[in-house]
Structure 1
Amino acid sequence: MPKLDRDAKKAINKMKKWNERIEVSRHIAVHNGESYYYVLFLNIFGIPQGSMAVREDGLILDINLAKSLIFRISSYNNIMKFASETKNGMKDILKRPYGMMKTIEKEVKEYFGEEIYSAHPLYEELSLLLKMCKTIYHNQEKFVDMYKELCSISDEQERNKLLNQSSFDRLYAIFIEWHVLLYEEQRLQLTNYYDLPKILKEVEGNKKGKKLCKSLRNMHTEKRRNIITEFIEGVIEKDVGDISGLSYSVEDIKRFRELKIKEGYQMFDSRLLPLIRN
């Protein structure tokens, strides 16, 4: 917890109830060259009962500026938590065996040929399979670069604790883009899942397609389908918008991006805004 100026302590204590304790975020929002603290008021069980933003000299802000600064710091804390999670977080994605996609791509081309023409009876299914493979291994390269950039910003943030608007905006853009890329590939995988039996029917029993058949069977499992479905069903809060009818088209991915951004603000307005005491 940062060391508070005496006037800042007085301002915070005016807002604190007798049975509450305070927790001041280590990260300090910078606005127009001035520093602002994000304060939580907790009950005896550690559950937040209120919050406020206060300038380092004790000035209590108007609600609109307080809302903006609290959104910045609370979102930063949530993004960093997501980045560090080893299950369903950024680190989890970085560890996945994406090389399998390049293997499947190679096996498809070895069996069906380098060029799959529109006259081929499985043209749509094979085109989708190859698109899915390329999307996943190209996304993995993007994920690695995005994570490195996020860590670079975070390292700087951990050193000076001052969170300016431009650094936060970039972090938030990375967070949104990460989910957009995941959504696109999960939609591709789900559609591909239902196409795989047609491709398997073609290669099963053919000695030439033995490796490809094994790879496709490993992809076509109920466990895999459940993981994909759970992601799609949970990636956007239901009260933000229904994405069940969206696909991986450019228009639908754009719509998903809009909803993911809307979700962040809507969750803040419903869960944190009522707690602000400014």
Structure 2
Amino acid sequence: MFSKRKIIKAAKPYKKKWTERIEVSRHKADYDGSHYYYVLFLNIWGNPQGALAVRTDGVVADLDTAKAIIWKISSYNNIMRFASKELKDNIKRPVGVMKTIEKQMLDFYGEDLHKHKLGKEIALLLNMCRTIYRNRYSLVGILKEMISISDTQESKKVLGYDTFEQLQHLFIDAHALMFQENKMQLENYKDLPKILADLNGHPKGKKLSKSLKHFHQEKIRQQLIKFDSGVVRKEIGDVSVLSYTAEDVEYFKELKRNEGLLRFESNLVPDIRN
């Protein structure tokens, strides 16, 4: 039975200032068959100053156990924030325009591209359109699964090993899909002037040209570069040199996992008071 008073009483000796407020996580994490709460010490402005892991019976965990507990619950919170903001915003994008561009491209160029002087560039644009609207279904599925796990957590309140691993997997996969799209768009952005020049003067290509000009704007390029430069911290790896190939996407996933661990080690571990 949860006793918030018991957890707070166990955490009080670990306060560094009498003004610190103690906040107990709504969820607890399973570790070797025992359940632990994640405790935060907040200053008068509500900013975290320290962390602690306390077993449900009020016993303060050792440091190694605390790291495992705080890693799980803090990661869970971060993943759910990502789902409710960044992932939802990504899904709201009007990807139906990609199907429109695909149709316009096929009407103008046809399927047989190997003899066309811009065959490679046109194939990339078609592949990008198909990837973006195909990924949309995958991202919606990931969001639905995250929401389902969140709903289950609201009733269970215990974050188990399998659930945590699945959430981590979903989080990495979502970022990998977004990374793949971004890389394809960056590459395609460089190719668009060639395609637009090829369409110039063709009456049948007017609608396609208008559609493509919409995507060849400086503000769009800046958004793509911003994502590319910020999706993984530079000290982990330079993703700007990676492409959208399957091999590079898998390498990106590895970098993203490493980034999560580094963020935890550098941002949270020094503040653990166990």
Q: TM-score, normalised by structure 1?
A: 0.94
The reply on whether 1:10 has 2:13 as its aligned counterpart is no
Q: Contact between 1:38 and 1:54, CA under 8 Å: does it hold in 2?
A: yes
Is structure 2 residue 142 aligned with structure 1 residue 146? Answer: yes
Deviations 1:192-218, CA, capped at 9 Å, x for gaps: 001011111111221111111111111
Residue 144 of structure 1 aligns to which amino acid in structure 2?
V
SS in 2 for 1:244: helix
Q: Does 1:104 align with 2:108?
A: no
CA distance in 2, matches of 1:68, 1:129: 44
CA contact (8 A) 1:5 1:57 kept: no
Q: Deviations over 1:110-154 (max 9, x none)?
A: 0011322x2210111011111101110100010111111111111
Correspondence for 1:22? 22
Letter in 1 for 2:104: E
Letter aligned with residue 20 of structure 1: E
1:20 positional shift: 1.2
Note the residue ranges of structure 1 that are not aligned, 5 or more in a row.
none
Counterpart in 1 of 2:209? 213
8 A contact 1:11–1:59 mirrored in 2: yes
Counterpart of 1:272 in structure 2 is: 268
The SS at the match of 1:237 is coil
Deviation string 1:22-44 (CA, Å, 9 cap, x unpaired) is: 01111111223321000001122
Equivalent of 1:91 in 88, 93, 101 = 88
Which residue is 1:67 aligned to?
A: 67
Contact 1:102–1:133 (8 Å) recurs in 2: yes
Distance 2:188 2:52 in 1: 48
2:225 is matched with 229
SS for the counterpart of 2:117 is coil
Matched length: 273
Partner of residue 43, structure 2:
43
Q: How far has the Cα of 1:6 moved from its partner?
A: 5.5
Q: Which amino acid aligns with 1:155?
A: D
State which of 238, 247, 252 in structure 1 corresponds to 2:243: 247
Q: Paired residue for 2:52?
A: 52
Query: Partner amino acid for 1:199?
Result: I
CA RMSD of aligned residues (A): 1.4
Distance in structure 2 (CA, Å) of the matches to 1:186 and 1:250: 14
TM superposition shift of 1:96:
0.5
Q: 1:114 aligns with which of 111, 114, 127?
A: 111
**Aligned mates of 2:149, 2:5 — CA distance in 1:** 31
Which residue identity is paired with 2:84? Answer: S
Percentage of matched positions with identical amino acids:
52
Tell me, yes or no, if the aligned pair for 1:5 and 1:56 is still in contact at 8 Å.
no
The one of 164, 179, 185 equivalent to 1:168 is 164
More deviation, 186-195/31-40 = 31-40
Indicate which of 250, 254, 258 corresponds to 2:254. Answer: 258
CA distance in 2, matches of 1:48, 1:5: 19
Please give the alpha-carbon distance, in whole angstroms, between the structure 2 residues aligned to 1:129 and 1:219.
Answer: 11
